Amino acid sequence: MPLTNAEMRTLAARGTTLRERLGGNLIAVPSEVSDSLAQVRLERWKAMLGEGFARRLVWDGIEEADAVRALGSMAPPRDAEAPEWVRLLDAVLDCREEIAFSPALPFEEIAAPFVHVAGAGVPGTALRWRLAHRLTQVAAGVLLAQFERHRGPRPQGNGSPPREAYARFVEGLRGGGLKSVFTTFAAIAREMAEATLTWRTQTDLFVERKNDLPSTEIEADVIRTPHGDYFYEPRPDAAELVDWISEVSGTPTPKTIGFVWILRTEHHARRLGARLAILRAVGAAHATDPAQVPETVFRHLGTDWIEPAPAPPAANAEQLIEGFRDAARALTQIRRQARVPWRPRPLAEYAALQQAQGNAQRQGVDRSLALEILLAPLVESAERPPLWPIARAEIQALERGEIPHFEYDMNTGLVDGSIPMEVAVKPYTESEIAAQVEALRAALALR
């Protein structure tokens, strides 16, 4: 059941972020309800930042009156075109196609119309499965809560089995209930739509640039070559780093703009090991803590790279360790400056923020306000700190449902090309390399 024009306007307004509301492209809808809502949000915002609230507004050039206006009910102009993400949701709601994914996914029936609408012309099934997996991850919390409400108390005796209750729930969503879910949880609906649009852009680039490799056979997102199997990892921050890792580890790593083509099996393991050594040196990962070893290390060491392998093959694990050791030793004699990925906080902190959204999943502005907690330590300072633009960029990424990525240029000392930052690159000693290798070997053995 597609959206009416009024419903598209409502959804677009409910999905807007605080930054978009402050941008002046939306119209305030004054009412007592709007005023009350704005005051509730304002008090919550002030309580989060305390005495630093006024500084937070000043540092971004925001007048409090404008902030209050942005916290109330707003609507797009009458003649405004619906955003692309809203138009995609409209097409999804009008789609009745069903797709069975393998491996099966929870609530895959809700992901199917997204995949059908956005996946036209995409070869194979692996790329489509990746999109479905991403969408079910985004929506699972909300959909599970809605399913529990729909099912009510767990059946006793001769009650309907869970599978029948699930089938009725999905049928209700596909029959018109999904529109209500999207409107109520507009922030989640927008995240699903924008994740789909991003996926399509990345997939089109993959198909367009597949000839960058000397391929002999293309199978979905795997490219067969005389040198082994490659697959793509969309990492816009990785191009310069890949050149340097290739030089350090002696492993050729083909790439295209915006993508890293990764050679699987032992060569891929060496590259991953080298990358881990560099990330640890700039404080982005710690091989001494098994929980901090990037999941990609384990996900791509096995023969089935879609699902995590239960245990990486011993030969590939040793190749990873060799790559780590070689790159760690090269770091102690670094001659060439490089760009490296950098984050100001652990990944676990971002994950915790995303999991603690609660009612902030309903509207985009509420999600923005929940993420303002990242600014709380910074507004304690009397002067705007150097990390301020980094924190603002973190919030914008998290609003989109993405993990923030930054790039540190070791030559210029700039993050993302414009923000001065001191990021120390810690060289390894031989004893540290030995300790890290043993810790990494133990971490791999746990998988």
| Alpha-carbon gap, residue 428 to 286, rounded angstroms | 13
Exposed, middle or buried, 255 (CB in 10 Å: 0-12/13-18/19+)? buried
At 18, is the pLDDT very low, low, confident or very high (cuts 50, 70, 90)?
A: very high
**24 Rama class: left (phi>0) / alpha (psi -120 to 50) / beta:** left
Query: Considering the chain, what percentage of its residues have pLDDT values greater than 70?
Result: 67
**pLDDT tens for each residue of 186-199:** 999 999 999 999 88
Asked if residue 318 has pLDDT above 60, the reply is: yes
Enumerate the domain spans of the chain. 5-75, 84-207, 213-341+428-445
**pLDDT tens for each residue of 405-419:** 787 776 677 887 777
Query: Considering the chain, what percentage of its residues have pLDDT values greater than 90?
Result: 37
Give yes or no for a contact between 251 and 267, defined as CB atoms under 8 angstroms apart. yes
| pTM for this predicted structure | 0.72
**pLDDT tens for each residue of 93-134:** 999 888 888 889 999 999 999 999 999 888 777 778 889 988
Give yes or no for a contact between 135 and 195, defined as CB atoms under 8 angstroms apart. yes
| Alpha-carbon gap, residue 271 to 250, rounded angstroms | 9
Pairwise pLDDT comparison (204 vs 292), residue with the higher score: 204
Average pLDDT in the 68-95 region?
94
Range in 72-81, 338-347, 349-358, 365-374 with the lowest mean pLDDT: 338-347
Exposed, middle or buried, 327 (CB in 10 Å: 0-12/13-18/19+)? buried
Pairwise pLDDT comparison (117 vs 226), residue with the higher score: 117
DSSP string, 195-227: HHHHHHHHHHHHHHHGGGS--SEEETTEEEETT
**pLDDT tens for each residue of 160-196:** 567 888 999 999 998 889 999 999 999 999 999 999 9
For 112, other C-beta atoms within 10 Å of its C-beta total 24
**pLDDT tens for each residue of 132-145:** 988 998 998 899 98
- Contacts of residue 148, defined as CB under 8 A and 6 or more positions apart, other chains included, come to none
| Alpha-carbon gap, residue 139 to 89, rounded angstroms | 14
Average pLDDT in the 367-395 region?
93
Half-sphere exposure of 379 (CA within 13 A, CB side): 22
**pLDDT tens for each residue of 241-292:** 444 444 444 444 433 333 333 334 455 567 667 767 766 665 544 333 333 4
